[in-house]
Amino acid sequence: MITIKEANTKALLLDYVKFPFSLYKDNKYWVPPIISEELETFDKTKNPAFASADAKFYLAYKDNTIVGRIAAIINWNEVKDQGKKKVRFGWFDVIDDIEVTKALLEKVHEFGKENQLEYVEGPVGFSNLDKVGVLTEGFDQISTMITWYNFPYYKEHFEKLGMTVEKEYVESKFPFSNVKPEFFLKVNDLIIKRYQLKPLNFKSTKDVMPYVDKMFDLFNKSYADLASFVAITDIQKEYFKKKYISFINPEFIKFIEDKDQNIVAFSIVMPSFSEALQKAKGKLFPFGFLHLLKARKNSKDMIFYLIGVDPEYQNKGVTAIIFNEYYKTFTEKGIQTCYRTPELTDNTAIHNLWKHFEPVIHKRRCTYVKNL
């Protein structure tokens, strides 16, 4: 018999966070989160997403053993401002038992119907800066700290339960040796002079911080046309600024400024923390933070996390300036491999940015949808 229980206490939320650790035990491709960080994500007093969202977290039990989990989320900005009558689900993990998946999804459906919503989509998080999609290809590729890993049967469960693909994403990688400066070097100088632009590089986090609010404003502006986009709120900007920006190497953050000191383009790259997180096993102490600090300093694998260009400057070669700055930094650091985070398959503009580097798609993922 399958029993569903809402994880509405600290003890149950801890069980919720720890369940994947048992499900993926000894799996060399799964990358565990830091348990304390994950708990903060689900804490209504700490995560500003709850200012404009409601969420419930459910655990599935079979014979008194946890066999699955799911989060049901309503982003009210999405529902009210965009008119999308959608209940989201995310942080989904389950054993290979379709009846457990069905029971968990039914709780999400109930939550949606209670709030007069019309359809369900997932796996997604609270916002566009959260993880997205169920893995459909690339099960033999190590995950990243900003993507979910899952077993192949997740996809099969969704499809057997009548869900259909809503959005498709690809992840690609390429060796840094594929990056030839002739693709952007001459264009770099031309674009800087034509539009009176200036690249901004940083050596310390405190020098980055004054620009971060402008960066998030540009993020909202440059991604606004994507079908899946929900703008980052002011309160979320402060949260992400404190939580993430201080964790990223300042030399891997690049801004492009116009003559009036407006940010017209930005990019954030992160070292790969995958192996460090596997060694940390969900804990910062006593040694987890040392693994992370070592990766932050020495990793030769880089993940292009975010890149955005003001719509007024799109298709004008501004990314050549960004690539030129990264080429200098990556060469100095001895970077070997570049990875891309999930990109919508129909986002041709972003795919065209990387075509000269001959990227290879190594993972695919998607979200699934169903009418309530």
pLDDT at position 344 = 92
| Separation between Cα atoms, residue 115 and residue 215, nearest integer Å | 34
- Are the C-beta atoms of residues 106 and 114 closer than 8 Å to each other? no
**What are the pLDDT tens digits along the chain (372 aa)?**
999 999 999 999 999 999 999 999 999 999 999 999 999 999 999 999 999 999 999 999 999 999 999 999 999 999 998 899 999 999 999 999 999 999 999 999 999 999 999 999 999 999 888 999 999 999 999 999 999 999 999 999 999 999 999 999 999 999 999 999 888 888 899 999 999 999 999 999 999 999 999 999 999 898 887 766 778 888 888 888 877 787 789 999 999 999 999 999 999 999 999 999 999 999 999 999 999 999 999 999 999 998 999 999 988 999 999 999 999 999 999 999 999 999 999 888 888 888 889 999 999 999 999 999
pLDDT at position 228 = 66
Q: What does the block give as tokens for 365?
A: 């993922």
- Are the C-beta atoms of residues 334 and 298 closer than 8 Å to each other? no
pLDDT at position 117 = 97
Q: What does the block give as tokens for 117?
A: 């919503």
Task: Output the CA angle 350-119-84, nearest 5 degrees.
Answer: 60
Which residue, among 32, 34, 39, 29, has the nearest Cα to 7 in the 3D structure? 39
Residue 82 phi/psi, 5-degree rounding, is -105, -10
Q: What does the block give as tokens for 80?
A: 């009210």
- Are the C-beta atoms of residues 50 and 127 closer than 8 Å to each other? no
Cis omega (within 30 of 0) for bond into 286: yes
CATH number for the segment(s) 2-171: 3.40.630.30
Q: How many Cβ atoms from other residues are within 10 Å of residue 140's Cβ?
A: 9
CATH for 175-362 (3.90.1150.10, 3.40.50.720, 3.40.50.620, 3.40.630.30): 3.40.630.30
- Are the C-beta atoms of residues 3 and 60 closer than 8 Å to each other? yes
pLDDT at position 236 = 85
pLDDT at position 352 = 86
Residue 231, by phi and psi: left (phi above 0), alpha (psi -120 to 50) or beta? Answer: beta
3-state SS assignment for residue 172: strand
Can you give the pTM of this predicted structure? 0.93
Residues across the chain: 372
3-state SS assignment for residue 292: helix
Percent of the chain topping pLDDT 90:
82
Relative orientation angle of helices 319-333 and 185-195, to the nearest 10 degrees: 130
Q: Which residues pair with 57 in a beta bridge?
A: 71
How is the chain split into domains, by residue range?
2-171, 175-362
- Are the C-beta atoms of residues 49 and 99 closer than 8 Å to each other? no
Q: E strand or H helix at 184, and its extent? A: none
pLDDT at position 356 = 86
b/e 340-357 (16+ beta carbons within 10 angstroms → b): bbbbbeebeeebebbeeb
Burial class, 258, CB count within 10 angstroms (exposed 0-12 / middle 13-18 / buried 19+): middle
Cis omega (within 30 of 0) for bond into 123: yes
Residue 133 Cα distances to 19, 153, 224, 253, 314, angstroms = 19, 14, 20, 26, 27
3-state SS assignment for residue 335: coil
